[in-house]
Structures are given as structure tokens and as C-alpha cells.
Amino acid sequence: MSMRLPTGGRLTDRSYRMEFTFNGKRMTGYAGDTLASALLANDQLLMGRSFKYHRPRGPVASGAEEPNALVNLGKGDRFEPNQRATTTELFNGLTATSQNHWPSLEADIGALNTHLSRVLPAGFYYKMFMYPRAFWKHVYEPFIRQSAGLGKAPDAESRDADSYEHFYHFTDVLVVGGGVAGLMAAKTAAQSGAKVLLLEQSAHWGGRAPVDGGTIGGQSPEDWTDATLAELQAMPNVTLRSRTMGAGVYDHGYALGYERLTDHAPEAPGPRHRLWRIRAKQIVTATGAIERPLSFAGNDIPGVMLASAMRDYLVNWGVSIGDRTVVVTNNDDAYRTAIALKKAGLDVPAIIDARSYGGGALMAEARAMGIRVEQGRGVAKVLGGKRVTGVAVCNQLGEGAVLDEIACDAVAMSGGWSPVVHLWSHCGGKLDWDEAGAFFRPRAGAAPTDADGKPFVSVAGAADGHMTLAGLLQDAAETGAAAATAAGFDAAQTVAPEAEEVAEKPLEPVWLMPQGARYDLRMKAWLDYQNDVKVSDVQLAAREGYESVEHTKRYTTLGMATDQGKLSNINGLATLSNALGESIPQVGTTTFRPPYTPISMGAIAGEAHGALFQPVRQTPIHAWHEENGAHWEPVGQWRRPYCYPKGEEDHAQAVIREVKAVRQSLGLLDASTLGKIIVKGPDAGRFLDMLYTNMMSTLKPGKCRYGLMCSENGFLIDDGVVARIDEDTFLCHTTTGGAESIHAHMEEWLQTEWWDWQVYTANVTEQFAQIAVVGPKARMLLEKLGGMNVSKEALPFMAWKDGTLGGFPVRVYRISFSGELSYEIATPAGHGRALWDLLCARGAEWNITPYGTEALHVLRAEKGFIMIGDETDGTVIPQDLGLNWAISKKKVDYLGKRAQAWPHMTDPARWKLVGLLTEDSSVLPEGAYAVADGTNANGQRNTQGRVTSTYFSPTLGRGIAMGLVLNGPDRMGEVIEFTHIEGFTVPARIVDPVFYDPEGEKQNV
Amino acid sequence: MLTLKCPYCGVQAEETELHAGGEAHLTRFGPDSSDDDFETYLFTRENPKGVHFERWRHSHGCGKWFHAARCTMTLEVFGTYPAQTTEPPQDIRDAITAKRPGWTWREFS
């Protein structure tokens, strides 16, 4: 059984007990435990089930590379699936549950899959779910949905209870990794005076050197770490952050750090995670190395673990995985585990070394301690089900004939070490295959380059392939100094402290154990634990023609699990290269993509959620709308009142009341959101002639003109009323959503095409409140306010005038988007609310009625006025909308003119705007298509038009619509059929789009 | 994420402050142009692996459009310059030649 030993555990504090639960069972651990070490201390070796075969699994690693020990963590709003037990720090009250099983972790029905594994090989999904076609919807899809996902998705109604933040940081040198190499590199860089940021993903400094032993400058690695850390902390130019992972390296020295502030202390105040957005002149990655598993049958049975991880659990947390541990290795390092176990009083029945030549001094030490060492041997298979019971030993060079069986309850394996090259590779750093070490290491001179074309990433220590303590410290010292020099500092030549450790014999690459393993053994030899990819699957993919490592990855799902192949990558591609008969560097690696390990969505979002997701723009009259029960409609970032329901009214009833009030008496609209752009200068008229389809330069000061704006592609992008203020000055109204984009459009042309024209523009949208006073009584109200002459003669239709109304400074435009007598009154934003209040008070005698955007839409549709975004969708030109009257024939050029001459733009078969009246007065469905005879090449019904706007018209007491119809204007009176979502069609008659007051008499009084 | 120096305000701007505007140094063809010229102006773009000229706007800064000469493969930036020009200035061309001898891009070299 796995258990806590009476002594030991350099990271745990046995004076502080912590309580937690796993699958509802109460357990205890110590401060400093990870969830994994605490579970192991409670003999909970079984922590989860694998994805495909539901194999029982325990932890195989002790850190970020762990593929098996994934749990659901927390409850309610703090529930999170797929959390690695090995990197989860224990806290009092932690609740965890295991994943991917039913009904329980111990007895899982899905484990039947493991007996079906012969018929569930690589590519099973692609082969199985193709036929028969009808099975997809009713059999395959429900099955796949049922089995998809490892952890449980959080409840859809829950909301993240924590806060997150982004943090911007600029530094000369960023060092990622707080092991001895990272500390050494940070120190030599900082001694030059450079600003240094050092990140460590775990809560502890020193990496694995304190576990592995040796001496640095005569001190133990632990003491050296403490001393160096103290030195760094005393330097004002150094920032240190533990629990902060270097997540990714990006262009031009950009890097992301992922700081976990309160995961280990959920009750602590402040944000839970912090995303560091770092710009560094130089980045040093000192990310260490990860041990590789060996591929032998049963290497996934709980109790089989990386030799280094078993050493970590023993030394760091005082936890033993078993009483009798067999060590399997192809290198000397695993002997350290055997020796440590033996020293802790545990039994090591045998070390099985695949190398016929055996190991060096460490082997001699192990033998001297009485440990049996078998050279040139391998594990044929591991015995046991939910827990190791023994190993069958064979010749490494054979096919798996069993020589001996050794009873044990744990297996420590080591296939050698792979440098963590992820961060080096994120931004394009190249790799070389190191034959001696059997790993990929960063290629010298092939670093990612910055804006100046100079390398900005370097690698220090084991991540650079330096696997001895002395070698990695010297490399780190030099790399840190070089980074500071590259960042513009004068780093002194630094010599690393003397380091000593036991010399090792070289490893022998072992990609399969035994090297000629039979099929029944190969199909139990796991490469990717989480996604259940075995040696036999990769070999099958190679036989089926998958030669590229990227294709094989996707076909077999090797390395596609949440651990992203940290353990399986090298073993998998070595297996592939053997199957293809190519060398490993020829096959190459898959692409390393950030983040290094998964980071929370909350950290990515930072503060941008809820009310802070995006700014809400409010007009000066916003508060009045809110006080008076407005139902809001988001329009871009603005909130506009959709309608103002009164009493028991629903929205439809409110809209009807508002429309009728405008038509019969007096309405009031907050039009402040309309874009207002001042265009000024001697060439302003010439410029607007290019921007609008109609002639603006001939507009007289004091007058207004409706204009259309097209893109260079010819399509209608915006419309609005232009007022000429004086000879040099125009005020262009844009749509609410278009103010910023049209202003940018103007600036783009002015700056990049007509930069010699004397024009400047200013977006003054928010400087003015604008209120539309609309309806037959509009003039009477303004006259009652007094201050300026608003008579027909003094202020005719399509004119504007400055003056005062009720004491407010105003600019009054006689323009109408409703077809009624209408004044749009602009006043400096600060006066907006007071003017609105005055209009409401003085207009009471005419039952003045504020109306919202829906009434505005109905009013304009009754008049056949188009709306950008309804009648247009980026493929509509003004000519489609019957707006030829607003397109100048005289102008030589305007944006869109050339494109509108394309043959397909002048094609008479383009759908054109008409009005539509249903035969039964009903409202046509939005976006409905008009059907035509026959079907197209795909067997779909042919179409001949579509609805662009459709409303109930209170004025006409029936449904009205506009739409684009083939040859529409020539088919007045014809009845065509429109689709309805219920499956039938609705007949509608083609009519003129102006439903109300076609002569325009009402607006021109 | 790229950083580009805005030639107007001198800020070393991060990509989030900038708006990419596609290929630089396009010649506008208007109403009397041939279909081929107009099509080329609207739709035909370079797609080089190497030296490229682009338009950028310092949209969350000074609002000015500028041009950037950079390498699409290594993201090396050779220089930025104001947009009020029809061709890359000589100092920019020299800077590119120093790093990428023999470069060509459209009619420029």
C-alpha cells in the first residue's frame, strides 16, 4: 500500500494537519502536501479512469506533466474539472472527486472497453462512424456525446465566484523556471544591473536538485538555493514570483505568466489568478527536463510510476508508493530512486537495467546496499489489475519470454530525460536530436528573433540538454550573463560555483521493452496514458500510411490530451520512426503551442467580464429613460430605449401607442447616439463629393441633404443627413453604429490617398445631445418654448438654424425620419437632460410621448425609408434600393462609382426594393425568402427575393414589409409566396415601398 | 504580438494598439480604369514569404496611418514611415538591403 512514512518530507509541515475529502471520503494531509501526495498518503493510489478504455489509473508523475491524476475540484460556483492532483496544493476543506467513470471509481462499467480494445484501435472513430449513414444521428452522435469529455462540465447556471486580473510588466530579462539553473541565470543577469523577472511554476524554489542530491559550492542544493534566493531577494532590480508559470513565448519578446494566487488558500482576499503580460528584451528558459516512461506491457497499472516521481514523493512529502519497489531503467539516474527507497527502509527486490553494460558508480552503490541488479533485462509485463502485484522479467533483446517473476507492489521506471523545450519552440526556436542523450535539445544559433532580427530566447540548464549539476550550472551562469549583455548591460564573465555529483554511465535508448515485444505485449504498452494510445496504435497508423508525425498525432490522438504529450511525445515519435524505418530527427516533432499547461479561462478574461466586459455608452438623457421604465436595446456599445411600456402594456402595445402618438400629436426621441462628424477645410466639399454618392459641394450653408456612402467595392455602408454649416464646414450625421467606423473611413482616405487635401475631421458625437420633436404639434411646442422663429418660412424642410429654445443654446435641423413634421434639436451634451425635461413638461398639453427605437423603425418603414443593416447587408448597392435619385450623374468620381459599373452591379436581374403586403394583413416573418419555381443544383427550392424589414403598422392596422425581389419594381400588384418557418408559404402582393403619405405632405408643413 | 514604432508619435506600440490595414502603396483606379486595373487595385495582393510593406493605423494612439516594412517570416521590422508617400523612402530601402540583400517587392527593390 502507499502510505506516509514515520519521518521525512522536506516540504511538509507535520505540525499542521489539513482535512479534505475525495469522493466524499474524509482524509487528512499536512501543510505542504499536494493533493496527489496527500491521497497517496491515504493509500488512495487509484485516482481516475483513462479516457477511452476507462483503465484504472494512479499518478505516474509528480508535477505538471501528470496525465492520469485529473480530478474535479471544488463545488458549486467554484467547481472545476480536469485539475491535476500533482500540482494542486492541499488546503483545509478541499473537496475533490474522480472523473470519467460510472457508477464509481472502483467499479466502472466503461472499463468493459478495455476488453474491446482489439476492436477499438487507432482511427476507430473514423472507420466505425462512417456507415451506415443513418446511424449517425440516432446511434453514433448520442453515443459520442455521452462519452465525450473527461471531467464534468460545470453547471451551466453557475458563475465563476472568483476575480481575475491582468498585469503588465516590462523587464530586461525574463527567466522562466526557478530551479538551480534559473536561479543561477537570474543571478548572473541581475549582477549586471539588468531588471530581471524570475518565474517559478510551483510553490518552491530549487527545482528537483534538492531531491537529486550532489553539492553546489560545498553546500547541499537546498542550502545553496536558500542562499541564492536570499541574494536575489536583496537585489532591487529582481522580481521573484513563485506559483507563476511561464505559459507562452510570443512575437517580439512578449510572454505570458500565469500566477495562481489563491488556489492554495481559497479564503484569501484578492484575485484568484493573475495573467502577467510581459515584454522582455531577453527571455531565458530554464524549464528543466521531464523523465520519460518506458514502454512495456502494463506500464499504466496503478503503482507504476516514473522513478523521479517516486523519489519526489519520498523526499518531498515522506510518502512511499509501495513496500516492495522494482526499478526498471535504461540509465543511471533511476538508481538514485532505488538507493533512496532502500535508505528509507523500504524493500527494493530488483533493479532491472536494460543495458547489458549496466550502470556506473550508482550501480555499484546499489549493489553494495544488497540490491539485486539485473543487466540486459527488461519487463515483459507488469502483473496486477488495479494495483501492481509483480513484474515478469525477460531479456531486453527478446520478444518477451518470461525468465522470472518478482513480487512487488510498485514499479519505478525511467526511460531517460527530455529537456522541456516548449517555451523555446513556441516562437520558432529550432531543435536538434542529441544522439547521446536520446532527446531533442535547442539548436544553437536557431533562436526565435525579435523586431531587430536578433535572438531573444536562450535556454539554460537541463532544458538546454545539460544533465549534470556542474554542467547545467555553468551553462546557466553563462546564459544569464549573455542575456543581460544582449539586453544592453555589461555582464561580467561569471564562473558558476563548483558542483559535484556522482558520475554516470551513458543511457541506452529503449523505445520498446523488450525490443521485440509480441503484439499482445505491444497493445498493452502505453504511450499516451490519458488518451489511451499504445505502441500498437502508432504502429498501426504507420502501416495505414500515416507518415507525418502531425497526421499520426491527430489520427491516433497521441499527445492531444490535456497534458499535451509531455510524457508521450518522444516515445511516440520514436515508435513512429521505428515503424517507418526513419531516423527520429527525420520524423521530427509536433508543434509546441502555448500555453505550456492549461490556464484558466478566468485568467484569460481578466477583468473583462460582467459589467466590465465592455463599456456601456449612455446618452445625457439615459437616466430619464431608466427612471421611466425603458426597455433597453443594445445598439453597438450604446443602450437605447426600445420602447417605454406603461402599466400592464407589453412591448408590442407600447410600440403601437408610441407610433400613434407621433402620427396624431407629438412624440419625442432621444437621437443623441446618431454619429456627428465635423468635416472642415477648403477642400471639405470636394472631399465629401468623393465620400458620398450625391453632390455635397453644391449644398448651401444653412441647408441639409440626405447622403449615401459606399465602399470602394460599391456597396452601401452608411447614410445620413449632411448639414452645411459654412463655406468650409459640414456636419455629417452617421448611423448610430457607424460613427466610429465612418470617422475612421474618412481619416483613412484623407491620410492615405488625398493627403494633400486641406480637410480635417472631428467626431463630435458625444459633444451634443440630440432630441427629435416629432408630430403634427411639434411646431406648436417649440413656439411655446420660444426664443427663435421655427415657422415654415423661417426654417423650411431640410434647413437648419442656430438659436435658443426655452433659454437653451440649440441648433435645430428640420429633418424627418418619420414622415411627420419634425425638428431635430442639438444642444451641448450638458444641457441635454434639462432640455428633454422642459420639452416633456411643456408638451404635456399635447400628450407628448417619448418613443423608442422600435417605434422609430415602424415609422420609417411606413414611409419606405431604408435602414442600414436591414435593407443593406454588405452586398446591396444604392441602385438596388431605388435610390438612384441620390446618386450624382454629374460627378466624375466618388467611392464606389467604378465598382457600380461592374457588369454584375448593373445586371437587371439584381433583386430590387419593393413594398410587400400580405393578402391576409398578417406580418411576414423576418428574413423570409420568396420562393420561385423549380429547384437549384442542390435540390433546394429556387428563390426570387427576401424580406428585409417587416412590422405591424399601427397607422395602417396591418402588416407591412419591404424586401428585395427579382424584377420587383416591374411586378407591382403581383402576388408571390414567402416561406414560413412552420413549413407553409404566405402570399404577399408587391407594392410601392412607401405605405404612408406618398406625397410627403405631412413632413413639409 | 508585434510591436511597431509609430513614426508620428514615436511610441513603440503593441499590436493591440494598432489596426492592420493590408498592403501598402496601392494605386487607386477610378471610374475610367480598365476592368483589369480595377480588379488588381481592389483584389490582387502580394503574399510574400519575406519582405513586405503594410499599412497600419495607430488606432488606440494618435490615430495616424503609417507604413511598416517587415519580414513576414521572421517578423523582423526594417522600419516604419508615414503613409503620405507613394513609395518606400530610400532610408527604408537601404535598411532592408542591409538585412536582405537582393530583396524585391512588386516594382520596388
- Say if A150 falls within a structural domain: no
| Contact yes or no for B1 and A250 at CB 8 A | yes
Give A151's pLDDT tier (boundaries 50, 70, 90).
confident
Give A834's pLDDT tier (boundaries 50, 70, 90).
very high
Q: How many domains does chain B have?
A: 1
CA distance A569 to A511: 12
Query: Which of A415, A436, A467 is the endpoint of a domain?
Result: A415
Q: Over 90: is that where the pLDDT of B72 sits?
A: yes
What domain range includes position A261? 166-289+419-493
Query: Which of A370, A393, A415 is the endpoint of a domain?
Result: A415
Q: Which of B28, B35, B99 sits opposite A453 (nearest CB)?
A: B99
- Say if B108 falls within a structural domain: no
What's this model's pTM, rounded to 2 decimal places?
Answer: 0.92
The mean pLDDT of A523-538, rounded to a whole number, is: 94
Q: What is the pLDDT of residues A87-106, one digit of tens each?
A: 999 999 999 999 888 778 88
User: Which residues 4-63 of chain B have a CB within 8 Å of chain A?
Assistant: 14, 21, 28-31, 33, 35, 38, 42, 55, 57, 59, 63
For residue A254, which residues of chain B lie inside 8 Å, CB to CB?
A: 1, 14
- A414 close to A395: Cβ distance less than 8 angstroms: no
Note the pLDDT of residue A471. Answer: 94
For A337, half-sphere exposure in the C-beta direction (CA atoms, 13 angstrom radius) is 34
The nearest CA of chain B is from the CA of A156 a distance in Å of: 32
- A368 close to A358: Cβ distance less than 8 angstroms: no
Does residue A772 sit in the same domain as residue A746?
A: no
- Whichever domain contains A570, its CATH number is 1.10.10
| Contact yes or no for A449 and B65 at CB 8 A | no
Tell me how crowded residue A686 is: count the other CB atoms within 10 A of its CB: 15
A131 burial via Cβ count (<10 Å: 0-12, 13-18, 19+):
exposed
The nearest CA of chain B is from the CA of A739 a distance in Å of: 15
- Whichever domain contains A304, its CATH number is 3.50.50.60
What domain range includes position B52? 3-99
Give A110's pLDDT tier (boundaries 50, 70, 90).
confident
Give A145's pLDDT tier (boundaries 50, 70, 90).
confident
- Say if A472 falls within a structural domain: yes
A852-876 burial, b at 16+ Cβ within 10 Å, e below that, comes to: bbbbbbbbbbbbbbbbbebbbeeeb
For residue A253, which residues of chain B lie inside 8 Å, CB to CB?
A: 3
DSSP A545-559: T--SHHHHHHHH-TT
For residue B77, which residues of chain A lie inside 8 Å, CB to CB?
A: 451-452
- Say if B106 falls within a structural domain: no
The mean pLDDT of A512-521, rounded to a whole number, is: 96
0.95 surpassed by complex ipTM = yes
Note the pLDDT of residue B1. Answer: 87
Does residue A299 sit in the same domain as residue A334?
A: yes
Report the amino acid identity of residue A714. G
Query: Which of A470, A493, A516 is the endpoint of a domain?
Result: A493
With a CB cutoff of 8 Å and minimum separation 6, the contacts of A765 are A673, A674, A675, A676, A677, A739
The nearest CA of chain A is from the CA of B55 a distance in Å of: 9
- A944 close to A930: Cβ distance less than 8 angstroms: yes
CA distance A425 to A423: 5
- Whichever domain contains B40, its CATH number is 3.30.2270.10
Does residue A194 sit in the same domain as residue A224?
A: yes
Compare all CA atoms of chain B with the CA of A255 and give the residue at the minimum distance: B1
Most confident of A73-77, A305-309, A550-554: A305-309
For residue A711, which residues of chain B lie inside 8 Å, CB to CB?
A: none
Q: Is A180 strand, coil or helix? A: helix
Q: Which of B3, B38, B99 sits opposite A898 (nearest CB)?
A: B38
| Contact yes or no for B42 and A279 at CB 8 A | no
Which of B3, B59, B71 would best serve as a mutation to test chain A binding (most A beta carbons within 10 A)? B3
For residue A901, which residues of chain B lie inside 8 Å, CB to CB?
A: 31
Q: Over 90: is that where the pLDDT of A178 sits?
A: yes
- Say if B105 falls within a structural domain: no
Does residue A225 sit in the same domain as residue A313?
A: no
Does residue A201 sit in the same domain as residue A249?
A: yes
Note the pLDDT of residue A126. Answer: 73
- A178 close to A278: Cβ distance less than 8 angstroms: no
Note the pLDDT of residue A440. Answer: 96
Specify whether the backbone of B46 is left (phi greater than 0), alpha (psi in -120 to 50) or beta: beta
- A533 close to A557: Cβ distance less than 8 angstroms: yes
Q: What is the pLDDT of residues A406-455, one digit of tens each?
A: 999 999 999 999 999 999 999 999 999 999 999 999 999 999 999 999 99
For residue A892, which residues of chain B lie inside 8 Å, CB to CB?
A: 30-31
Please name which of A377, A357, A234, A229 lies closest in space to residue A294, comparing C-alpha atoms.
A377
- Ranges A203-217, A300-314, A486-500, A683-697: which has the least confidence: A486-500
Does residue A485 sit in the same domain as residue A562?
A: no
Note the pLDDT of residue A1005. Answer: 85
Give B32's pLDDT tier (boundaries 50, 70, 90).
very high
Please name which of A995, A660, A1005, A1003 lies closest in space to residue A815, comparing C-alpha atoms.
A1003
- Say if B19 falls within a structural domain: yes
Distances (CA, A) of A274 to A243, A277, A612: 11, 9, 17
With a CB cutoff of 8 Å and minimum separation 6, the contacts of A41 are A2, A3, A4, A29, A33, A317, A318, A319
Note the pLDDT of residue A938. Answer: 92
A501-517 burial, b at 16+ Cβ within 10 Å, e below that, comes to: bbebbebbbbbbbbbeb
With a CB cutoff of 8 Å and minimum separation 6, the contacts of A500 are A214, A215, A469, A470
- State the cell numbers at A954: 399601427
| Contact yes or no for B2 and A899 at CB 8 A | no
Q: Which residue would you say has higher pLDDT here, A138 or A890?
A: A890
- A495 close to A216: Cβ distance less than 8 angstroms: no
The nearest CA of chain B is from the CA of A331 a distance in Å of: 39
- Say if B59 falls within a structural domain: yes
Edge-to-edge strand order for the sheet containing A304-306?
A304-306, A410-414, A325-329, A351-353, A373-375
Note the pLDDT of residue A396. Answer: 97
Q: Over 90: is that where the pLDDT of A122 sits?
A: no
Q: What percent of chain A has pLDDT above 90?
A: 89
Compare all CA atoms of chain B with the CA of A449 and give the residue at the minimum distance: B74
Q: What is the pLDDT of residues A745-776, one digit of tens each?
A: 999 999 999 999 999 999 999 999 999 999 99
Does residue A55 sit in the same domain as residue A180?
A: no
Note the pLDDT of residue A448. Answer: 96
The mean pLDDT of A254-277, rounded to a whole number, is: 96
Give A118's pLDDT tier (boundaries 50, 70, 90).
confident
Give chain A's end-to-end CA distance (angstroms, integer).
96
Please name which of A712, A832, A699 lies closest in space to residue A765, comparing C-alpha atoms.
A832
- A168–chain B Cβ distance below 8 A for any pair: no
Q: Over 90: is that where the pLDDT of A340 sits?
A: yes
| Contact yes or no for A452 and B55 at CB 8 A | no
- Say if A539 falls within a structural domain: yes
Does residue A578 sit in the same domain as residue A648?
A: no
Q: Which residue would you say has higher pLDDT here, A118 or A820?
A: A820
Report the amino acid identity of residue A314. L
Does residue A772 sit in the same domain as residue A921?
A: no
Give A114's pLDDT tier (boundaries 50, 70, 90).
confident
A421 burial via Cβ count (<10 Å: 0-12, 13-18, 19+):
buried
Cα–Cα–Cα angle for B70, B75, B80, nearest 5°? 35
- Say if B55 falls within a structural domain: yes
Note the pLDDT of residue A101. Answer: 81
Note the pLDDT of residue A134. Answer: 78
Note the pLDDT of residue A501. Answer: 86
| Contact yes or no for A744 and B33 at CB 8 A | no
Phi (first) and psi of residue A767, to 5 degrees: -80, -20
- A899–chain B Cβ distance below 8 A for any pair: yes
| Contact yes or no for B77 and A452 at CB 8 A | yes
Q: What is the pLDDT of residues A880-900, one digit of tens each?
A: 999 999 999 999 999 999 999
Note the pLDDT of residue A116. Answer: 73
| Contact yes or no for A451 and B63 at CB 8 A | no
Does residue A726 sit in the same domain as residue A760?
A: yes
DSSP A698-718: TPPTTBEEEEEEE-TTS-EEE
Note the pLDDT of residue A121. Answer: 76
Does residue A647 sit in the same domain as residue A777?
A: yes
- Say if A852 falls within a structural domain: yes
Q: How many domains does chain A have?
A: 7
With a CB cutoff of 8 Å and minimum separation 6, the contacts of A960 are A861, A862, A915, A916, A917, A950, A951, A952, A953, A995
Q: What is the pLDDT of residues A17-46, one digit of tens each?
A: 999 999 999 999 999 999 999 999 999 999
For residue B3, which residues of chain A lie inside 8 Å, CB to CB?
A: 252-253, 279, 451
- A751–chain B Cβ distance below 8 A for any pair: yes
Does residue A304 sit in the same domain as residue A270?
A: no
